[in-house]
Amino acid sequence: MKAQVVVDKKTRKVICTAFANGKQHDFRLFKESKTHILAEITAKTDTGCIGIDKIHKNSVLPKKKSKKKPLACEDRSVNRKISSERMDNEHAIGFIKRFKVLSERYRNRRKRFGLRFNLIYGNLQF
């Protein structure tokens, strides 16, 4: 199971979720879920969503290094700044993973996964 979680930075609440069966790329799940982000909101994603800047102009992505060309010091510092801004989101996802819903294999009915996931994170206070 693949899960996409959209977290509000200020309240650290989960706003939107999307799920897919099997292995799937993060950006493909984003496109297929049709998650709509308002134009004035800045989307801060990881490197799994390369290509989101074509769909959502107000997005921030870290730079990736290639095999032959390592990142410059400036790029690394920018990447650190982006990841530090995403830290609240990662803490919220880590908090959800403590309940083993996302971190282990889900062995129940797949139809009910979204319902159970929403019930678990809906009652959490972090």
- 56 against 16, higher pLDDT: 56
| pLDDT value at 15 more than 90 | no
The DSSP code for 125 is -
pLDDT of residue 77: 95
Host H or E run for residue 54: helix 52-55
**Helices and strands of the chain, counted as H and E runs:** 5, 4
Reading the block at residue 38, the tokens are 């308002």
> Strand 43-44 and strand 59-60: pairing?
parallel
Residue whose pair of structure tokens reads 């390369």 in the numeric block: 50
Reading the block at residue 70, the tokens are 């390592």
**Both ends of the chain: CA-CA distance in Å?**
24
pLDDT tens per residue, range 62-106: 888 888 989 999 999 999 999 888 888 888 778 877 777 666 777
Q: Comparing C-alpha atoms, which of 38, 75, 73, 76 is closest to residue 59?
A: 38
Domain extent listing, the chain: 2-122
Residue whose pair of structure tokens reads 């769909």 in the numeric block: 55
Separation between Cα atoms, residue 90 and residue 126, nearest integer Å? 12
